[in-house]
């Protein structure tokens, strides 16, 4: 009995379970369906955010701002001496006895650079001094002869005059008078000869004295001196070699040690440049930057390369070496002005325009531009400070298009431009 009762209870529970599950399903189904419909009908949060902007393209814009704009000219060239001075021997045919300077040394004007062997000149001077003594002795001898000739001539003239008077009175014969007159004329002739010999001797003395002076000058020039102050850049002189003025110079001096950059500039940029403009020079394969200024601008342009030459003096000449390759950044003009990135400006043969943005609408605006520094360009007219324009002129937008402006990032190059 007990076992049959337990079986009946289990059977009743099993029979009621399907009814319970059916009722539960009927109660929850409307709630689940209404919730699902609500989820389908409600838009997602992402869709609500994207819906307003989906109609207009996002375009990066930039503002017209006042900044430092620098007009530059970039040039390349080499370092060279401002002025080179060649040192040649002033005496030919003498050997070099000693050298006082070498390449790289700094010399003062009239400083000793080398000495030549003076033995041959000293011998020549001794010979000229002997000739001078001989000429002076001859002069003294001729002067003595002149005194004697003058005395004899005076006596002969006196006797001739006396006999001439006696001949008139008949006391002296005509033959004797004529004889004494001839003797007086001969005595006067000897005086004249002695005077000419003295003049020749005096001339000989002057010639020998000039020869001695020439030797003395050549002796003084055996000391080779620096004609200018500066730095020795080359030396060909060697001890024992024969110094000659027709060959290579003994030394080359960079006057005052001054060096400069010889830069090649295109003919279009050449017209912008002027003497005194500042430049920054960077030596090739080096981080060294030097200050310079334009010293000279060539008045001509090469007919083949269409390049002109600009000479830029270097303030710190000791940091550059002749022959080095260098780049020059020449500042033509620097000023504070309204400016835009070059990418925002479109130029043609007839006009220059930008895509101005006002209240999300693009407007084509004509502008007048000025100088540019490679990244930014000066705006002279057509825009005001704070106006927004499309940052990249190549963006596909037309006049009247509506866009969603996106602010351009503030690059760090603004600081770099002003430096």
What global pTM score does this model have? 0.63
Give the number of other Cβ atoms within 10 Å of residue 10's Cβ.
Answer: 9
pLDDT digits (tens, 9 = 90+) for 105-123: 999 999 999 999 999 999 9
- Domain boundaries of the chain, sorted by first residue: 58-69+335-418, 74-79+254-333, 83-117+222-253, 119-220
pLDDT value for 7: 37
Specify the DSSP element, H or E, that contains 5: helix 2-41
pLDDT value for 317: 85
> Higher pLDDT residue, 121 or 407?
121
Specify the DSSP element, H or E, that contains 102: none
Contacts of 258 (CB under 8 A, 6+ apart): 81, 82, 83, 230, 313, 314, 317
Q: Look over the chain and give the mean of its residue pLDDT values, rounded to a whole number.
A: 83
Contacts of 37 (CB under 8 A, 6+ apart): none
pLDDT value for 80: 95
Specify the fold of 83-117+222-253. Answer: OB fold (Dihydrolipoamide Acetyltransferase, E2P) (2.40.50)
pLDDT value for 171: 79
Q: What are the residue ranges of helices labelled H in 221-373?
A: 267-270
Report yes or no: 87 and 224 within 8 Å, Cβ to Cβ: yes
Alpha-carbon span 253 to 261, nearest angstrom: 18
Across the range 88-111, mean pLDDT stands at 94
The CATH label, of 3.40.710.10, 3.40.50.2300, 2.40.30.170, 3.30.700.30, for the domain at 74-79+254-333 is 2.40.30.170
DSSP assignment string, 352-401: EEEEEEETTEEEEEE-EEEEE-SSEEEEEES--TT-EEES-TTSS--TT-
Architecture of domain 58-69+335-418: Beta Barrel (2.40)
**374 band by pLDDT with thresholds 50, 70 and 90:** confident
Coil, helix or strand for 187?
helix
pLDDT digits (tens, 9 = 90+) for 169-187: 877 788 888 888 899 899 8
């Amino acid at each position: 009995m007990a076992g049959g009762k337990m079986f009946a209870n289990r059977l009743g529970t099993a029979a009621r379970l399907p009814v319970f599950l059916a009722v539960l399903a009927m109660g929850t189904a409307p709630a689940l369906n209404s919730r699902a419909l609500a989820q389908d009908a409600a838009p997602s949060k992402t869709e609500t955010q994207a819906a307003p902007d989906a109609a207009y393209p996002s375009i990066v814009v930039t503002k017209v701002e006042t900044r430092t704009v620098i007009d530059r000219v970039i040039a390349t060239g080499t370092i060279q001496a401002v002025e080179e001075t060649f040192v040649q021997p002033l005496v030919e045919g003498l050997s070099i006895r000693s050298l006082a300077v070498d390449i790289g040394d700094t010399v003062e004007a009239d400083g000793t650079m080398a000495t030549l062997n003076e033995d041959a000149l000293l011998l020549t001077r001794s010979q000229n001094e002997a000739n001078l003594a001989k000429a002076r002795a001859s002069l003294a001898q001729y002067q003595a002869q002149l005194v004697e000739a003058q005395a004899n001539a005076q006596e002969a003239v006196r006797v001739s005059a006396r006999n001439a008077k006696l001949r008139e009175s008949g006391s002296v014969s005509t033959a004797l008078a004529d004889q004494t007159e001839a003797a007086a004329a001969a005595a006067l002739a000897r005086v004249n000869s002695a005077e000419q010999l003295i003049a020749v001797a005096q001339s000989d003395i002057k010639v020998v004295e000039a020869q001695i002076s020439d030797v003395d000058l050549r002796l003084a020039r055996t000391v080779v001196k620096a004609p200018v102050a500066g730095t020795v850049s080359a030396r060909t002189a060697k001890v024992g070699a024969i110094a000659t003025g027709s060959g290579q110079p003994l030394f080359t001096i960079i006057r005052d040690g001054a060096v400069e950059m010889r830069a090649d500039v295109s003919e279009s940029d050449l017209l912008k440049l002027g003497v005194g403009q500042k430049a920054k020079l960077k030596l090739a394969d080096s981080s060294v930057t030097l200050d310079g200024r334009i010293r000279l601008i060539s008045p001509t342009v090469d007919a083949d390369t269409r390049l002109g030459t600009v000479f830029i003096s270097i303030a710190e000449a000791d940091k550059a070496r002749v022959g080095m390759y260098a780049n020059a950044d020449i500042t033509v003009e620097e000023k504070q002005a309204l400016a835009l990135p070059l990418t925002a400006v479109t130029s043609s043969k007839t006009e220059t325009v930008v895509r101005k943005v006002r209240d999300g609408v693009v407007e084509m605006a004509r502008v007048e531009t000025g100088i540019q520094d490679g990244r930014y360009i000066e705006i002279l007219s057509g825009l005001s400070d704070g106006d927004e324009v499309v940052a990249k002129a190549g963006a596909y937008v037309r006049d009247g298009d509506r866009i969603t402006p996106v602010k351009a990032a503030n690059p760090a190059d603004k600081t770099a431009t002003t430096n």
